[in-house]
């Protein structure tokens, strides 16, 4: 299949449909409006459900109902809307329901603005809703990767019975890049995917023979039962941490004097700065976490070569991933941070200047 020039918001919507998503519930918000509009146009063409909910709260609870029936279901929003979904995310995680949530981040806090930002890292990776749970969280850095993550997210959600968030931003949502799609799943393949959940999901009993009573539920009023439930969730999260750490290595070598860590849109700018410094004969590498939960702590620790004298974290926030990098580095070398906020994206020249100061020290 040839490449198509597409906005990230549309590419993720198309990729989700190709991945077997036939149910989508959402509420309009900038800068993800093209996503909901694409779904409104395309879902009827594949006999899918598009429903514009009365609120983000309702949308995520519609996801809860559809996911409880074992079907591939998605919702999307931008930062303030994700806050409204936080209640539902906690219930989805507690009831262990597979689903995909797309966050096209914008500037915050509060209503903030509608420009790209990475201020929802804490919310996405450390909770957001109440209680002891984790979201699997994928962070794309290109339109192609954004689209590829649709099927990855649904597969992970199904495999672990856990909600999966794709943490993009207004830049990735709004910009156009060439994208190549995987072949669409057939209706039969989608049907088969649903069958993997029949041992727990809501579905009819057959022929008057009451075979099952399934409960889609996050309530365990007996503390001893809840304790065991949370321990079981914790075991599942440990398994996810073991299996699903993903990162990209860029220009990593034993010669590196500086190790950069950046994710999503920010990592693209850092790459440009690294290329310019490399052309000037400087040795500098970057680790880009692709999954921000589980976090690639080991990859960062391993990338600290013998000559690294500084780890530098760049984000479009005030330093939210910084804490995770510090955990990975374990104090072995100093960790610096520089970021931009308010929906303003730093330039390669600005990053280069920061890194050059480091080389001088």
Partner 1 sequence: MEKIAYRPESLRDVPFTYCPGCMHGVAHRLIAEAIDEQGLINLMTGVAPVGCSVFAYKFFNFDMAQAAHGRAPAVATGMKRARPDMHVFTYQGDGDLAAIGTAEIVHAANRGEQMSVFFVNNAIYGMTGGQMAPTTLPDMKTTTSPYGRDTDDIGFPIRVCELLDTLVAPYYIERVSLLSTPDIIKAKRAVSKAIQYNKEGRGFTFVEFVSTCPTNWGLDPVQSREWARENMLPFFKLGLFRDKGEGAE
Instruction: Give the span between the Cα atoms of 64 and 74, in whole angstroms.
Output: 10
Q: Which two tokens stand for residue 188?
A: 């039969």
Q: How many residues bind partner 1 (CB under 8 A)?
A: 43
Give dist(CA 15, CA 307) in Å, integer.
42
Residue closer to partner 1 (CB basis): 210 or 279: 210
73 lines the binding site for partner 1 (CB under 8 A): yes
Stretch that binds partner 1, among 47-55, 185-193, 253-261, 316-324 (CB under 8 A): 47-55
> Counting contacts by CB under 8 A, is residue 42 touching partner 1?
no
Burial pattern 51-70, b for ≥16 Cβ within 10 A else e, equals: bebeebbbbbbbbbebbbbb
Q: Is residue 214 at the binding interface for partner 1, with CB under 8 A as the rule? A: yes
In contact, 73 and 63? CB cutoff 8 Å: yes
Distance CA 60, CA 93 (A): 12
Q: Is 167 in the site for partner 1 (CB under 8 A)?
A: no
Residue 196 engages partner 1 in binding (rule: CB under 8 A): no
CA–centroid distance for 295 within its chain: 12
Based on the shown chain and the rule CB under 8 A, indicate whether residue 210 belongs to the binding site for partner 1.
yes
Span near partner 1 by CB under 8 A; candidates 12-20, 48-56, 108-116, 263-271: 48-56
Query: At closest approach, how far in Å is the CB of 91 from partner 1?
Result: 5
Nearest approach, Cβ of residue 67 and partner 1 (Å): 8
What are the angstrom distances between the C-alpha of 15 and each of 10, 274, 352? Answer: 9, 31, 35
Residue 23 within binding range of partner 1, rule CB under 8 A: yes
Closest CA to 157 of 148, 144, 166: 166
Interface pick for partner 1 out of 9, 19, 61, 76 (rule CB under 8 A): 61
First CA to last CA distance, the chain: 50
Residue 62 touches partner 1, criterion: CB under 8 A: yes
Of the residues 46, 53, 184, 341, which one makes contact with partner 1 according to CB under 8 A: 53
**Which letter, b or e, does each residue of 135-172 get, where b requires 16 or more Cβ atoms within 10 Å of its Cβ?**
bbbbbbbbbbbbbbbbbbbbbbbbbbbbbbbbbbbbbb
Nearer to partner 1 by C-beta: 57 or 358?
57
Nearest to 287 by CA among 296, 279, 275, 278: 296
State in angstroms the smallest separation of the CB of 292 from partner 1: 26
Position 229 contacts partner 1 (CB under 8 A): no
Closer CB to partner 1, residue 97 or residue 316?
97
Give the C-alpha separation, 144 to 319, whole Å. 26
Residues 87-126 that bind partner 1 (CB under 8 A): 87-88, 91, 95
Mask: binding to partner 1, 306-345, rule CB under 8 A, as x and -? Answer: ----------------------------------------
Beta bridge partners of 100: 74, 164
Binding site for partner 1 (CB under 8 A): 23, 25, 49, 51, 53-55, 57-59, 61-71, 73, 87-88, 91, 95, 201-208, 210, 212-219
């Amino acid at each position: 299949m040839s490449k198509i020039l597409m906005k990230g918001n549309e590419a993720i919507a198309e990729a989700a449909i190709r991945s077997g998503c036939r149910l989508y519930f959402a509420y309009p918000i900038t800068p993800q409006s093209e996503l909901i509009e694409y779904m409104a146009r395309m879902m009827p063409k594949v006999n899918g459900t598009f429903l514009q909910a009365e609120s983000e709260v309702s949308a995520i609870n519609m996801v809860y109902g559809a996911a409880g029936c074992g079907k591939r279901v998605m919702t999307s929003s931008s930062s303030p809307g994700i806050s409204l979904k936080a209640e539902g995310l906690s219930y989805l995680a507690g009831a262990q329901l597979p689903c995909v949530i797309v966050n096209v981040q914008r500037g915050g806090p509060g209503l903030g603005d509608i420009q790209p930002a990475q201020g929802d890292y804490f919310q996405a990776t450390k909770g957001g809703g109440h209680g002891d749970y984790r979201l699997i969280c994928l962070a794309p850095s290109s339109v192609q990767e954004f689209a590829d993550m649709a099927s990855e997210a649904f597969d992970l959600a199904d495999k672990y019975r856990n909600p999966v968030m794709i943490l993009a931003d207004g830049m990735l949502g709004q910009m156009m890049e060439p994208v190549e799609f995987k072949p669409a799943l057939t209706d039969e393949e989608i049907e088969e995917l649903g069958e993997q959940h029949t041992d727990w999901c809501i579905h009819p009993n057959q022929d008057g023979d009451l075979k099952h009573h399934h409960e889609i539920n996050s309530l365990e009023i007996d503390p001893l039962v809840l304790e065991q439930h949370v321990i079981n969730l914790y075991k599942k999260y440990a398994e996810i941490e073991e299996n699903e750490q993903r990162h990209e290595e860029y220009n990593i070598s034993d010669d590196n004097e500086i190790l950069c860590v950046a994710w999503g849109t920010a990592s693209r700018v850092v790459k440009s700065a690294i290329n310019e410094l490399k052309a000037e004969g400087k040795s500098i590498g970057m680790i880009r976490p692709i999954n921000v939960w589980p976090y690639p702590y080991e990859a960062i620790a391993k990338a600290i070569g013998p000559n690294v004298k500084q780890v530098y974290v760049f984000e479009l926030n005030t330093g939210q991933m910084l804490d995770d990098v510090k955990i990975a580095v374990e104090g072995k070398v100093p960790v610096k941070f520089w970021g931009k906020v308010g929906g303003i994206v730093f330039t390669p020249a600005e990053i280069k200047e920061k890194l050059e100061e480091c080389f001088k020290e």
